[in-house]
Structure 1
Amino acid sequence: MFPIEFQLSEQRLSGLASFPVGHPIVDKPLLSGVLSQKPVMLMLHGWQDNAASFAPLFGPLAEHFHIIAIDWPGHGLSAPRAADNFYHFIDYVDDLAQLVDLLDQPRVTLVGHSMGAIISVCYAAAFSDKVLALNLIEGLAPLSEATLNTVDRLRKGIQSRQRYRARAQQRQSRSMATLQQAVDLRCAVNGVLPEQIQPLVERAVYQQDGRCYWRHDNRLRCDSLYRMSPDHAEALIAAVNCPVLSIVGQTGYQALKLEQPASSGWQHLEQVVVAGGHHCHLQSPVRVAEEIVSFSSKFNALAQ
């Protein structure tokens, strides 16, 4: 894997690529020659993860794709959002739109995990001509809730920001004595083995004065001010016209498992269940990669 960076209009994104780029920050001319050799696959991680979440998939998929995995703003090595901003979900879709424009490809294949999967769906709905296929790992429809929750959602969202601001001045970043302690914490939260989560944790922390600190922006923990209604989510699902592969973990979020994918509102959806939980791509990377390759082969999305 090779480091890569993109400068968006208001944001710098860091990431990992399956190919060398020869320059810290890439642009259209630099990428045009390299990316013409294979189809481009963008990998988009979940909340409080980072690009290294996809490290186990690089090996089996790099034969078929030029892979780029990014750190979302406020995650991994990417810059946080400006001090006067928070992390509105829909802004991630704008980040993705800018990134795809920088890649300057006819169409790209998207692989998203959890939050990254939902962002992928929203982007594919709005820009269907830019997406060849969606591979959604433990994520599917945009999060939605009944409109009767709107006022409560707004109130609690603002209150969470007020609590963040009140604590910001005296807050000390949570530290850990060793990298292993950080790994153990993530293992406990995500139900994975240390060797499965280690690359992600190494990218998620920095060391200072002999201690380890999390890199992610604490504003990520603030609640959303707004969530789509079910009608809004259904409209986005209906607008996705590319092939969609849903990959869910056997012990992951049960609500993601569809009894009848063909009648779920998606135009072209297949679903497979693999061993593992919410981070099944870390637990069963070979199987997940095989499913992505098999799915992509159905519509000539692989390098020849």
Structure 2
Amino acid sequence: MSVPFEEIRLSLPHIEVAAHLYGPERGQPVIALHGWLDNAATFSRLAPLLDGVRIVALDLPGHGHSDHRPPGAAYNIWDYAHDVLQTAEQFGWKRFSLLGHSMGAIVSVLLAGAMPDRIERLALIDGAIPYTGEADTAPQKLGESLQALLEVDDKRKPVYDSFEQAIAARMKGVGAVSHEAAESLALRGLMPVPGGYTWRTDARLMLPSPMRLTRAHALAFVHRVACPASLVLAEQGLMTQPAMLELIETFPFARNRLPGGHHLHLDDQPGAEAVAAIFNPFFAA
């Protein structure tokens, strides 16, 4: 799969990040955000199919070719909203749209709810709100996170004997993907080490969250979104539970269900084309 894009690095005030640029320079500004443990390559099928948009597909900090956060810093999901805003500032974009998959979709909703004056449109793929937790579980969750932080330096990321072995492992990971999708993510996400290959991702990304938003917190962000929003749900994705589908019905988003798994926009060309068929008129409206 060969796709035209420009590889760039951005020196943000607090961190350096990598990204892929797609589309015409004067196109509608869009920042694309990938899912947890993925990278900018997740949009390699979809981005070329979207018309009239200038897409900055980020490697979020700790992922792909972007820098890891400094020692002592955390990977709280709301921290990514700051990374996105600083990226927009680099391009001089006061208003822009967001294209988000999974965790990237969640970050998009949080930012759109927090700063509705900055966000033009939300295009979301199989993601909307984070895992939530209520007040009574907060002390235990924080304790688990602190203990994990004490132990993280003693943990080593897996080393795979071959590139193909790493691809096979990614195919079975969270949000299982096709071989071709896993290969695209691996080409950007793996690095050679003694004994084989390992992932570039920061090991701290696998640590438990120190604090979760409550359900009420999460829904407050959803209902403060002021821009048009379009949510694509994968029929074999991660948002298929009846209670979740019932909750999503209350969101002020346009909703479309498409066949495919959690990475339907990357797994194969028909999936990417189906998602593009929804988002092209949405961005053009």
Q: TM-score if structure 1 supplies the norm length?
A: 0.85
Residue by residue over 1:70-113, the C-alpha shift from the partner in whole angstroms, topping out at 9 and shown as x without a partner, is 00111000000102222122211111111122221242121111
Contact 1:134 1:242 in 2 (8 A): yes
Q: CA separation in 2, counterparts of 1:257 and 1:156? A: 26
May I ask how many residue pairs the two structures share in their alignment? 275
Match of residue 270, structure 1, among 247, 250, 254: 254
Residue 187 of structure 1, CA deviation: 1.1
Gaps of 5+ in 1: 20-33, 300-304
Partner of 1:91: 79
Partner of 1:234: 219
Residue by residue over 1:101-151, the C-alpha shift from the partner in whole angstroms, topping out at 9 and shown as x without a partner, is 222124212111111111111111121111111011111123322211111
Q: CA separation in 2, counterparts of 1:106 and 1:160? A: 39
1:176 aligns with 2:164: no
Contact 1:121 1:142 in 2 (8 A): no
Match of residue 200, structure 2, among 210, 215, 218: 215
Partner of 2:18: 14
Contact 1:136 1:246 in 2 (8 A): yes
Q: CA separation in 1, counterparts of 2:247 and 2:130? A: 19
The amino acid of 1:130's aligned partner reads: R
Match of residue 54, structure 1, among 34, 38, 43: 43
Q: TM-score if structure 2 supplies the norm length?
A: 0.90
The structure with the largest helix share of the pair is: 1
Partner of 2:185: 200
The amino acid of 1:277's aligned partner reads: G
Gaps of 5+ in 2: none
Partner of 1:287: 274
Residue by residue over 1:189-239, the C-alpha shift from the partner in whole angstroms, topping out at 9 and shown as x without a partner, is 243221122111110001244621211010111111111112211221121
Q: CA separation in 1, counterparts of 2:82 and 2:247? A: 32
Match of residue 233, structure 2, among 243, 248, 253: 248
Q: Which of structure 1's runs of 4+ aligned residues deviate more than 3 A?
A: 255-261
Q: CA separation in 2, counterparts of 1:188 and 1:69? A: 24
Match of residue 158, structure 1, among 146, 149, 159: 146
Distance 1:252 1:173, change over 3 A: closer
Q: CA separation in 1, counterparts of 2:86 and 2:128? A: 22
Match of residue 100, structure 2, among 107, 112, 115: 112
Q: CA separation in 1, counterparts of 2:49 and 2:164? A: 27
